[in-house]
Chains A and B, each alone.
Chain A
Amino acid sequence: MSEHIVSAFTDELEKIAADLMRMGGIVETMILDSCAAVDRNNHDMARDVITRDPEVDRLEEEVERQIVSLIARRQPMAHDLRSVFSALKTAGELERIGDLSKNIGKRTLMLDESVPVAMRHGVARMARPVSLQLHMVLDAYATGNAESAKTVWESDDDIDQHYNSLFREMLTYMIEDPRTIGAGAHMLFMAKNLERIGDHCTNIAEFIYFQITGEYLIPHERPKTPNTGI
């Protein structure tokens, strides 16, 4: 899209997009690192993830502040209006993803070496597709590709199925060995956090799709496996 007659308007929109991408980059590594910390029982790494969250919160505030100011001064219309609306909502979702990753980090600190490696691997395995969802949706944002955003939106069901299978796996461990129940409970929350991150990625995909096309993706048209009661 060509530039605004008022070039500062373009600059401001680009700054918002750049801050959002920075937020996205940080939370993406938070997901991966928090789960790597679980996998390797690395408490230093978990603490490091926790310390990155305030920066995400700060960036969210920064994006919000810029958007409020931009709306007041420039009254964006059409694609510009949709892009600031989408950026505002996306910033909120990324902040939540940061919180959920931080929570995985905090729970990691509750685990000790007695937790079976197989249980740790289970959580780590789920981190990869989830962070990939986020990576793809941020790519769609950066390249303005509505179809990629829709692809992410459609594939959330894979994450849900991954969660369901991990849930059963954890239950099996806990039934087999009641000593793993404490760790298992934390890991169920970690898995749930990852599943929630998937949902936030789906929301971001909806905002990006709307930003680019001006059309809404209709939630009930999304592919979904019947509820498994979990």
Chain B
Amino acid sequence: MDTVGPAKTDLALTGEGADKTQALTYPRIDCRNVSVYYDDKQAVFDVSLAIHDRAVTALIGPSGCGKSTFLRCLNRMNDTIEGAKVTGDIFMEGENINSPDVDPVLLRSRVGMVFQKPNPFPKSIYDNIAYGPRIHGMVDSREDLDAVVEKSLRRAGLWEEVKDRLTQPGTSLSGGQQQRLCIARAIAVRPEVILMDEPCSALDPIATARIEELIDELRKRYCIVIVTHSMQQAARVSQRTAFFHLGNLVEMGDTDQIFTNPRERRTEDYITGRFG
């Protein structure tokens, strides 16, 4: 078990002067003492953990354990909820994203998000992808935009299926294709981190397998954090797993260790289906 409580060894690596050549090993996101309140009710209690780059981190736990709330801290989605308050520090590349100086819109282009239910814009497949790069001024010409659209769709494993129908509405695709469209849309703005909140729970097993294959491919380039209710999915796709219960981080460790030999009784009870 590790990183329950401030991760001392990680601090040195994320602070100023950290050696950026260690990109594969140092954490992309370092959360310290993060708590979330909805009005007077506390939903997340003092969570400290490090999220590694080029790896998939799975957040698991029973409904209402705070895992989605915690995930939403990572791109300040809780800002949009009336009465929600986040305390503690979340460092990305040494910068505290909770600082008032950070523009949440810019932050969300660095930290993309994919939701439980595929939510393509009511626009063409092309425009779904092109929207982000356009509003962020990331492209200068139509050719550049075409290239970004193709590259994003290719990375999302969707290009071959949609290249001849780019003008059709995104909503005309199947559920699994729509979810991959949303992933393509998220990666079109070149994020560093991709958050996924139960991205497969509305999909059939084949579409789920395609998304999982995609996640495995994407982790070579991105830092991915996924919330899932399926422990088998967490075990299949992630390298690190964090178990939440009643708003607390109970245990975090390598996925292998969590699923074969968890250190905490509550983790054991949850993943073996003994939870009361």
Which residue of A3, A4, A5, A77 contacts B231 across the interface (Cβ within 8 Å)?
A77
Q: How large is the interface on B (under 10, 10 to 19, 20 to 34, 35 or more residues)?
A: 10 to 19
Q: B235-276 vs A: 1/0 string, CB under 8 Å?
A: 100000000000000000000000111100001110111111
Q: Tell me whether A182 is interfacial, beta carbon within 8 Å.
A: no
From B260, B267, B269, B272, A214 is in contact (CB under 8 Å) with: B260
Residues 34 to 84 of chain B near chain A (Cβ within 8 Å):
none
* A-B interface pairs (CB < 8 A), number: 40
List residues of chain A with CB within 8 A of the CB of B262: 78
Contact of A78 among B232, B260, B276 (CB under 8 A): B260
Q: Are B260 and A5 in contact (CB under 8 A)?
A: no
Within 8 A of A (CB), among B195-238: 231-232, 235
Residues from chain B with Cβ under 8 Å of A92 in the complex: none
Determine if B272 and A6 form an interchain contact, defined as CB atoms under 8 angstroms apart.
no
Docked Cα-Cα span, A105 to B11, in Å, equals 67
Q: Do most interface residues of chain B lie in helix, strand or loop, or is the interface mixed?
A: helix
Interface size for A (C-beta < 8 A) is: 17
A1-44 with Cβ < 8 A to chain B? 1-6, 9
Does B261 lie within 8 Å of A82, measured CB to CB? yes
Report which residue of B231, B235, B273 has the largest number of chain A beta carbons within 10 angstroms of its beta carbon. B273
Q: Nearest B residue to A80 by beta-carbon distance?
A: B272
Docked Cα-Cα span, A5 to B276, in Å, equals 8
Contact of B274 among A1, A75, A214, A215 (CB under 8 A): A1
CB contacts under 8 Å to A, within B109-123, are none
* B276, A81: Cβ atoms closer than 8 Å: no
Binding site for B on A (CB under 8 A): 1-6, 9, 75-82, 214-215
Query: B-side interface residues toward A, CB under 8 Å?
Result: 231-232, 235, 259-262, 267-269, 271-276
Beyond A1-B274, A78-B261, 12 additional contacts (C-beta under 8 Å) are: A4-B272, A4-B273, A4-B274, A5-B275, A6-B273, A9-B273, A77-B231, A78-B259, A78-B262, A78-B268, A78-B272, A82-B261
